Amino acid sequence: MGLGGMDTKQRERNCFVDSCSSAPVTSLGQQDLCLNHFLLRCYEKLERLDPRGGRFCSETLDAAAMRAFIEECSRKALDVSLHCKDLSNLERGRLLDILLWAGELFLLLRVPRFTFAASAAPVDSSVAALAAAPRS
Ligand SMILES: [Zn+2]
């Protein structure tokens, strides 16, 4: 092949990740990915979108882009789980995990931010109230 290296017909047969020679099963953000790298990309990105996780960075992402990714990610995960015939139990489990996580994030991101921090307080006070309650 030429020196161009951008021959898209050649690229279409392989996973987008350079070192990977697996056949792509789906795509994410215009990149063809094999199952393994699709799962990795999803986990990586979901981790960064999850406000409950340590790797959350809201500054670099806008709400519309987050929602678009979450939608794409869950749509593709469902698609792969329905159309890939030879998935292992572990791979199925991961696809399901991504689907559930994406669904959860979709709901979380629609809720105003302050509700996350506030949720700890009522639990503490009800535990204190329980402890203080006289036994009958
Ligand atoms: Zn790959």
Summarised one tens digit per residue, pLDDT across range 15-30 is 999 999 999 999 998 9
Between 5 and 105, the more confident residue is 105
Residue 27: closest CA among 19, 43, 40, 16: 16
Residue 4 in domain: no
In a domain, 45, yes or no: yes
Query: Which structural domain, as residue segments, surrounds residue 70?
Result: 15-112
- Residue 28 falls inside a structural domain: yes
119 alpha carbon – ligand 1 mean position (Å): 40
Residue 94 Cα to ligand 1 midpoint, Å, equals 16
120 in a structural domain? no
At 13, list the tokens: 């047969």
The count of domains in the chain is 1
Distance 40 CA to ligand 1 centre (A): 9
pLDDT for the residue numbered 114: 45
Residue 128 has pLDDT above 70, yes or no: no
- Under the banding of pLDDT at 50, 70 and 90, the label for residue 56 is confident
Q: In angstroms, what CA-CA distances link 52 with 30, 66, 120?
A: 28, 15, 13
Q: How far is the CA of 42 from the centre of ligand 1 (A)?
A: 13
Asked, for residue 124, whether it belongs to a domain, the answer is no
CB-based contacts of 87: which residues, under 8 Å, 6+ apart? 35, 80, 81, 95
For the segment 12-16, the average pLDDT, to the nearest whole number, is 80
Contact at 8 Å (CB) between 23 and 31? no
**pLDDT at position 57, please?**
64
Report the separation in Å between the CA atom of 13 and the middle of ligand 1, taken as the mean of its atom positions.
Answer: 11
Cα 80 to Cα 19, 26, 91, 108: the distances in Å are: 22, 7, 10, 25
121 assigned to some structural domain: no
Instruction: Flag whether 53 is in a domain.
Output: yes
pLDDT digits (tens, 9 = 90+) for 60-111: 567 788 889 999 999 999 999 999 888 999 999 999 999 999 999 988 877 6
- Rounded Cα gap, residues 51 and 113, in angstroms: 9
pLDDT value, residue 117: 46
Q: Identify whether 66 is part of a domain.
A: yes
d(CA 22, ligand 1 centre) in Å:
5
